[in-house]
Structure 1
Amino acid sequence: MTGADAEDDIPLSERKTVTDFCYLLDKSKQLFNGLRDLPQYGHKQWQSYFGRTFDVYTKLWKFQQQHRQILDNRYGLKRWQIGEVASKIGQLYYHYYLRTSETSYLNEAFSFYSAIRQRSYYYQVNKEDRPELVVKKLRYYARYIVVCLLLNKMDLVKVLVKELSEEIEDYTQRFNTEDQLEWNLVLQEVASFVEADPVVLLNDNNCVTVISYRLQEGNVPPLEQGMVVGQLVLADALIIGNSNSQVKFSELTIDMFRMLQALEREPGNLAVQTCKQGILEPNEKPAKRENPHKYLLYKPTFSQLFTFLSASFKELPANSVLLVYLSATGVFPALNSEYEVGPYDFGGVLTNSNRDIVNGEVIQKRNQSQKDMHCLHPGDLLPFTRKPLFIIVDSTNSTAYKNFTNMFGQPLVCLLSPKVYPKSIQDQSQRGSLFTLFLYSPLLAFFSVCGLNSVRRGLWESAQEFLHKVDHDIAQMITRSQTIDQAFLQFFGDEFLRLLLIRFVFCSATLRLHKVFRDSQSFPESYPELPKQDTVESSVLQKHILKMAAILDVQNLFWDHSVEAY
C-alpha cells in the first residue's frame, strides 16, 4: 500500500483533527512570538494581545487533551511537544505576572512548570540526537527556578538546581557545545541567590525554615482613628538595578529581587487545577489590583529608562503615586565643586555601565571632564514631579538626590541610602545592600547588622512580635509630629509606602545607635529631611532598639545612652 493509499485510509474526522491541531499549534507559536514585539511599557497596548494568545493556548491545551490518542497515532505527537506547549503557557502566566504584578499568576505558572516535571514531558528529549531540544529543557528548568525563587520555594529550588546541573553535564558531554560556560554561570548565579539571605532561620529540628517577606495581612500598622493622611495609592514602580558586584540571576540583582517582593502582597492559597481542567484566563481573576504595577529594568540606557518613565507617568491614574527605585553605582561630580548649584551638578547614579568603566573610582575620574550620558541626575526626574513621586536611591552617591526642588507642589519624598558603610558591612555587599535589606525585611537586616548568622524560629517570632510594636510606635511618631513635612503624611495612606517609611525610620535609628556606624555618611538621609527628634533620634525609639538588642543578647553592639553622648 502506498503512502497516499495509507493516507486515504485515515478517516476524514481524524484527518480534520490533525489539521485543526496543526492550525492551533501554528497560531499559538505566531502569537507567542509576537509578544516579543510588544512594548514592555504601558498598560493598555498589550492587554488585548495577551487575551488573544491565552485564548488560543486554552483551545490548544484542551484540544490535545481531548484528542490525545488520535494525535499520538496520526500526528506522532511526542511528550516533549506537550511539554513545550505547557512550558509556553507557564511563560505566559509568568509574563502576565510581570505585566500586572498579580502574584496569583505566579501560582499558575508554577502549576504548569510543576506538571511538566511530574509528568516527565521532557524525559525522552535526552535520547534524541537534537541539542536544540535539550536546550529547550534547560531553559525550562531555568524559568521554573525563577518562579520558585519568587514563590520562596527554596527547598524545591535546591532540588531543581541539582537536576539542572546533571542535565547540563549530560548536555555538554554529549554535544560539542559552545554554551557550556553560560550554563555553568546560570548554576553559579542560582546558588548565590539561594545563599544571599544573611541569616538562616532554624526550626526545632535544626532544619532551615523559609518565610515570605511579602506584605501579609496585619503586617502594616493601621492608621489611628481620625488621623488625616493622604489618599494617594501606589500605582506604578520602576525597579532599576545596575550592580556588577551583586548576586544576579535572570537580569535581577538581589536588591531588585528584594524590592520586587517588598512591593507585593502575599499570594492567596489558590487551588489551581489548570493542567487538568484547562487554562484559567486572566479575566477570570478578581479585577481588583492589589499590587502596584512594576517595571524591572536591569542596566537600562538613559533612553530606555526615560521611555519607561514617560509611559508610566502618562498612564498614572488620578490620586496615584509613581515609585522609582534606583540601585546603582554612584557617579560623582568634578573635584572642583564651587560652581555646583543645580540638579545636574551633583552627579547621580549610573544606570548602564560602559565597558571601559570598572568601578566607582574610574567613573569619578572620567566625569571630571564630562557627564556620562547614562547617569541619571536628580534633574532628569524633575519633569515627573508634576505628579506624586516617591524615590528610593541605594547608591554611593545617593545624597545627590537631596538637591531637589519641588517645583510643582506635588508630594515628593526621596529615601537615600548611606553613602559609605563600615568595612565589616562592605564585605557583605555582594549579598545585597544593607539599606535595601532594611526596606525588605527590617528584622533580617537587624540580625545581619548584629552579626547573627542563624537564629531559632522561636526567637525570630519573639523579635518579630516586638518589631510590630515598634512599627506601630514609629507610625504614631510620624503622624503626630508637629514639624514633619506634609509630603510624608500625603504618602502615608498607602500601605506599601507607609511600611517603607516606617522601615526607613527604623533603619536610620538602628544605624545611629550601632557602635560600628560612626561616620555620619553611614546614616540614611531623606528629602525632605525628617524631624530627627521626633523620629530617627527619638528617645522612645532608641529604647525600643536597645530592648530589641536585649532580646537578641547583643546589647554590647549599641550605645546605651542618648545619641548626643557620642
Structure 2
Amino acid sequence: MSLEEGRQIVGEQDQQAIVREFTYLLEKSKQLFNGIRDLPQFGQKQWQGYFARTFDVFTRLWRFQQQNRQTLDACFGLKRWQIGEIASKIGQLYYQYYMRTCETGYLQEAFSFYQAVRSRSYYANVLKEDRADLMVKKLRYYARFIVVCLLLPKLDVIVDLIKEMSKYVEEYVKKYESADKDDWKLVLQEVSSFLEANSLVTVVDVNSMPVAVTHRLDTSNQPTATAAGDSPTKRKSLILGEAFIVGNTTEQVKFSELTLDMFRMLQALERKPTQGCIDENSLDKNSANEDDSPVNVRNPHKFLLYKPTLLQLVNFISNGVKELHNQSVVLLYLSASGVEAQKANYEDGPYCHGGVSVKDFKHDDFTKKPPQLKETHCFYPGDLLPFTRRPMMLIVESGASQAFSSMPRLFGQPLICLLAPRNFPSTFQDTSRTGGLLTLFLYSPLIALCYVCGIADIRFSLWEQCQKHVKKTLLHVRNLILHSKEIDHSYIKFMDDMFLSELIVRFVFFMWVMRNHAGFKGPDFQPRCVPLLPEDDVISNSSVQSLMLELTLKLDVRSLFSL
C-alpha cells in the first residue's frame, strides 16, 4: 500500500468517525429534547439536572457541526434546514428554561438563536424539498419566534415576522391543501389581534414612529422597606416565592395560550433585563444567572395556567405551595369570568357569594341547579382557604371579584386581596379586546392612565418625563404606607419584596384614578382592597393628590378629574 493510499484510508476513517459522532449527538439531542415534555412541572431538583444534560448535548452538537461542516456536507449530506432545526431547538430549549426559571436573560438567548435561523436563511429552501412536515416545522418556528419577540418586546421584528409567516402560510396552503390550513390562518389572526389589543397607547419618536418600551420592573435605585418604628432586621422579611397566573376570561384575545391579561401580569412580575443578547455560538446554561442587578433579586417563579380545570388549579397551587420556604409569599392572580350567586343569599360563608369560572363552566347548566347546590366548575373563596396557611396576595380581575372581599384570615397569616371593580362604564366594558383595567394599571400605570384619558399616542420625551413622575409618586405612596400608624400589618410585611410592594403602590395609583376620574363615578366602578388602606394616610393624602394632579397637567388631562 502506497503512502497516498494510506492517507486516503485514514482520511476516510476520520470522516466516518465524524459522521458517527454527529449522528450520535443528533440522536441523543432528539431523545433528550423529546423528554422535556414529560418532565414534572414541580420539583426543581427533578428537572434541573435533565436540562443541564440537554444543554450539554446541544452545546456539543452545535459546536461539532460548526467545526466539521465541510465533512458533514460531503459525507452526511447535511442540509441547511437541518442546521436550522438544531438552532430552533436550542431556541426552544432556552424558552422552556425561561418558563421554568422566569429569568428573562434566557429569553434574550432564545431570541439570538431564533434570529440566527432567520438571518442565515436556514429554512429558505424547504419548499423545494416537497415535504409538508418541513413546512410545518418552518411555520412552528415562526410562531415560537413571535412569542419570544412579544415578551422581549421586539415590535419591529414582529411586524416583519408576521409578513413573512403570512407568505409561507399561503405557500403551504396552496401546495399541500392540508387539513390544518385553517389552524395556521387562525394563528396569524390571533397574533394580529393580540398586537392590536396590546397597542392601546403608542409611544412615538419625533418622526411619529413607534418606540418599543419595556414595562418590566426597573430594579435600579430600589429603596429598602423601613416602617415607622421598625426595621427589616427586627422582623423576618417575606419574599414572593410562587405566582400562579390564571387566565379564563371568556373570548379574551390570546396567543399561544397567553391571554392579554396573563401576558401583562407575567411582565409585571419580572424585572427589566440587564443583559444584552448573547452570541449565537454561546450556549452556557449558567449565563443568565450571572446578573449584576443592583438589588441582586430573582424573578419569582410563575405558573401560567390557561383555562385550567378546578382540579388542575388546586393541584398546581398545592404542589407549588409545598415547595416554598417558610418566609415565602404565594401570589394568586385570577383573570376569569365571574360566577354570581344564583340569588340573594342570606347565608354567609366562603361558598355563598359566587366566585370565578374555571374550564368547562357553562352558565346555562348553572342556572338549572337547585339553589342549595354550588357550581362544580367555579373557583370559590372557600377553595382557597387551605392555602391561606401561607402569606398570600390575591388579585382578582373579574366582575365577581367582590366575592373574595370577605376572605377570612383563619390562620393569622398576612393576606391581601386586590379586587377589580364590579363593572366599568360602557366605553371600557369590552375587556375581551383590551384586557382588564386592574391588570393594565398593575402592568403599566402610565399606559393605563393614558388609556382611560383617551390618549392614543404619546411622544417619547413626554413619556420619559411622565414615567419619572410616576416613579416619584409611587415611591412617595410607598413611604406613606410604611409610615402609616393605621395600616394593617399585612401591607408592612409585604413591602420588603419589591414585586409585592410595587403591586400595592400601583393599586393605590389605580384607586386614585378610579375615584377622581369623571368617567368612573359610582360605587360599581371602584376597586376594593382587603384589608382596607387608610384614607387619610394614603389614598386621600394631600401630597398624593398634588403629585397625581401634577401628572394630569403634564398629560393635559386635568379637566377629566374632579376634585
TM-score range, shorter chain: over 0.9
SS at match of 1:112: helix
Cα distance, 1:503 vs. partner? 0.4
Q: How do 1:385-424 and structure 2 match up within 5 A?
A: 385-424=388-427
With over 3 angstroms needed to count, the CA separation of the structure-2 counterparts of 1:368 and 1:401, relative to structure 1, is: farther
**Aligned match of 1:135:** 136
Tell me, in whole angstroms, the C-alpha distance in 2 between the residues paired with 1:191 and 1:367.
40
In the alignment, structure 2 segments of 5+ residues that lack a partner are 1-7
**Aligned match of 1:150:** 151
Alpha-carbon contact 1:79-1:122 (below 8 Å) kept = yes
Report the count of equivalent residues.
546
SS at match of 1:123: coil
Alpha-carbon contact 2:420-2:528 (below 8 Å) kept = yes
With over 3 angstroms needed to count, the CA separation of the structure-2 counterparts of 1:289 and 1:137, relative to structure 1, is: farther
Tell me, in whole angstroms, the C-alpha distance in 2 between the residues paired with 1:512 and 1:285.
42
SS at match of 1:238: strand
**Aligned match of 1:550:** 553
In the alignment, structure 1 segments of 5+ residues that lack a partner are 1-6, 561-566
With over 3 angstroms needed to count, the CA separation of the structure-2 counterparts of 1:351 and 1:219, relative to structure 1, is: farther
TM-score (norm 2): 0.93
Q: How do 1:507-546 and structure 2 match up within 5 A?
A: 507-546=510-549
The CA deviation string for residues 229-268 of structure 1, in whole angstroms up to 9 with x for no partner, is 5611112111110123321000001110011001101112
Tell me, in whole angstroms, the C-alpha distance in 2 between the residues paired with 1:465 and 1:363.
50
**Aligned match of 1:281:** 285
Alpha-carbon contact 2:108-2:277 (below 8 Å) kept = no
Cα distance, 1:373 vs. partner? 2.3
Cα distance, 1:115 vs. partner? 0.4
Opposite residue 327 of structure 2, the aligned amino acid is N
Opposite residue 242 of structure 1, the aligned amino acid is N
Stretch of structure 1 that moved more, 213-222 or 477-486: 213-222
The CA deviation string for residues 377-408 of structure 1, in whole angstroms up to 9 with x for no partner, is 11111111111111111111111111211111
Opposite residue 335 of structure 1, the aligned amino acid is K
The runs of 4+ residues in structure 1 deviating greater than 6 Å are 7-10
Cα distance, 1:364 vs. partner? 6.3
Please say if 1:331 is aligned against 2:339: yes
SS at match of 1:392: strand
**Aligned match of 2:55:** 54
With over 3 angstroms needed to count, the CA separation of the structure-2 counterparts of 1:269 and 1:476, relative to structure 1, is: same
Alpha-carbon contact 2:394-2:416 (below 8 Å) kept = yes
RMSD: 2.1
The CA deviation string for residues 120-159 of structure 1, in whole angstroms up to 9 with x for no partner, is 1111101111111000000000000100111110011001
Please say if 1:461 is aligned against 2:467: no
Tell me, in whole angstroms, the C-alpha distance in 2 between the residues paired with 1:512 and 1:543.
15
Please say if 1:348 is aligned against 2:352: no
Stretch of structure 1 that moved more, 58-67 or 132-141: 58-67
The CA deviation string for residues 191-225 of structure 1, in whole angstroms up to 9 with x for no partner, is 12222231111111111111000011337555458
Cα distance, 1:9 vs. partner? 10
With over 3 angstroms needed to count, the CA separation of the structure-2 counterparts of 1:295 and 1:284, relative to structure 1, is: closer
With over 3 angstroms needed to count, the CA separation of the structure-2 counterparts of 1:284 and 1:468, relative to structure 1, is: closer
Stretch of structure 1 that moved more, 543-552 or 430-439: 543-552
Match of 1:240 among 238, 246, 250: 246
Alpha-carbon contact 2:193-2:253 (below 8 Å) kept = yes
Tell me, in whole angstroms, the C-alpha distance in 1 between the residues paired with 2:365 and 2:115.
45
With over 3 angstroms needed to count, the CA separation of the structure-2 counterparts of 1:409 and 1:135, relative to structure 1, is: same
Tell me, in whole angstroms, the C-alpha distance in 2 between the residues paired with 1:31 and 1:332.
47
Match of 1:319 among 320, 327, 331: 327
Opposite residue 247 of structure 1, the aligned amino acid is V
Alpha-carbon contact 1:235-1:293 (below 8 Å) kept = yes
The CA deviation string for residues 89-143 of structure 1, in whole angstroms up to 9 with x for no partner, is 1100000000000100001100110000011111110111111100000000000
SS at match of 1:409: coil
**Aligned match of 1:64:** 65
Stretch of structure 1 that moved more, 445-454 or 37-46: 37-46
Tell me, in whole angstroms, the C-alpha distance in 2 between the residues paired with 1:192 and 1:95.
25
Cα distance, 1:469 vs. partner? 2.2
SS at match of 1:415: strand
Alpha-carbon contact 2:417-2:530 (below 8 Å) kept = yes
Alpha-carbon contact 2:105-2:288 (below 8 Å) kept = no
Opposite residue 547 of structure 1, the aligned amino acid is E
Cα distance, 1:465 vs. partner? 2.1
Please say if 1:487 is aligned against 2:490: yes
Cα distance, 1:284 vs. partner? 7.5
Q: How do 1:21-170 and structure 2 match up within 5 A?
A: 21-170=22-171
Opposite residue 297 of structure 1, the aligned amino acid is L
Please say if 1:256 is aligned against 2:262: yes
Stretch of structure 1 that moved more, 167-176 or 216-225: 216-225
The CA deviation string for residues 263-297 of structure 1, in whole angstroms up to 9 with x for no partner, is 10111233511x33x42123783387610011111
**Aligned match of 1:231:** 237
Cα distance, 1:17 vs. partner? 1.7
Match of 2:381 among 353, 378, 382: 378
Opposite residue 423 of structure 1, the aligned amino acid is S
SS at match of 1:516: helix
Tell me, in whole angstroms, the C-alpha distance in 2 between the residues paired with 1:368 and 1:9.
84
Tell me, in whole angstroms, the C-alpha distance in 2 between the residues paired with 1:128 and 1:533.
71
Opposite residue 282 of structure 1, the aligned amino acid is N
Alpha-carbon contact 2:201-2:456 (below 8 Å) kept = yes
Stretch of structure 1 that moved more, 476-485 or 94-103: 476-485
Tell me, in whole angstroms, the C-alpha distance in 1 between the residues paired with 2:423 and 2:369.
20
Alpha-carbon contact 1:242-1:353 (below 8 Å) kept = no
TM-score (norm 1): 0.92
The CA deviation string for residues 71-103 of structure 1, in whole angstroms up to 9 with x for no partner, is 111111111011111111110000000000010
Opposite residue 315 of structure 1, the aligned amino acid is E
Tell me, in whole angstroms, the C-alpha distance in 2 between the residues paired with 1:377 and 1:536.
29
Alpha-carbon contact 2:252-2:431 (below 8 Å) kept = no
Match of 1:308 among 290, 306, 316: 316
The CA deviation string for residues 508-552 of structure 1, in whole angstroms up to 9 with x for no partner, is 011001111122121111111222232223333233322222222
SS at match of 2:520: coil
Tell me, in whole angstroms, the C-alpha distance in 2 between the residues paired with 1:222 and 1:534.
20
Q: Identity of counterpart residues, as a percentage? A: 48
Stretch of structure 1 that moved more, 92-101 or 477-486: 477-486
Stretch of structure 1 that moved more, 392-401 or 551-560: 551-560
**Aligned match of 2:3:** none
Tell me, in whole angstroms, the C-alpha distance in 1 between the residues paired with 2:93 and 2:368.
43
